Amino acid sequence: MGIGTYLALASVLFGIGAAGFLARRNMLIQLMSIELMLNSVNVVLLAFNRAYPDNHDGQVFAFFVIAVAAAEAAVGLAILIAYYRIKKTLDTDDATLLKY
């Protein structure tokens, strides 16, 4: 159970998030997929920090990733609510406000 297992698992989780972001049309699910991708990056940072535990750089970086993810979720959900007020749907195929 080496560090490579953690890295492989993190890449699979990142791929699940990316596939969800690309395939789904629901804006809520797409935001959740972004959270999945951010979380998988944290796994990589912590695994490398565990392998080289001389300092806390990876954990500090993961801490900042969590903080940025919280800010991103707040702003993203606010944009989602504003979009829902205009379009009355969460379907991203209808997001054509900037298209023409």
Partner 1 sequence: MTGPGATLFVVTSIFAMAGALMTISSRRPLRAAIGLLVHIVSLAGMFLTLNAHLLAALQLLVYAGAIVVLFVFVIMLIGPAAEVGPIQGRVASRTLGIALTIAVVLAVSTSVAYFDAPWVAVPDDFGTVEGLGMAIYTQALVPFEVISITLLVAIIGAITIARSRTE
Q: Hey, which residues between 34 and 63 contact partner 1 (CB under 8 A)?
A: 35-36, 39, 42-43, 46-47, 49-53, 55-57, 59-60, 62-63
**What is d(CA 45, CA 39) in angstroms, rounded to the nearest whole number?**
10
> What is the size of the binding site for partner 1 (CB under 8 A)?
72
For position 9 contacting partner 1 by CB under 8 A, the verdict is yes
Binding mask 59-88 for partner 1 (x = CB under 8 A): xx-xxx-xxxxxxxxxx-xxxxxx-xx--x
CA angle 67, 69, 74 (to 5 degrees): 100
For position 89 contacting partner 1 by CB under 8 A, the verdict is yes
For position 24 contacting partner 1 by CB under 8 A, the verdict is yes
For position 98 contacting partner 1 by CB under 8 A, the verdict is no
Taking the complex as a whole, the smallest distance from the CB of residue 99 to partner 1 amounts, in Å, to: 15
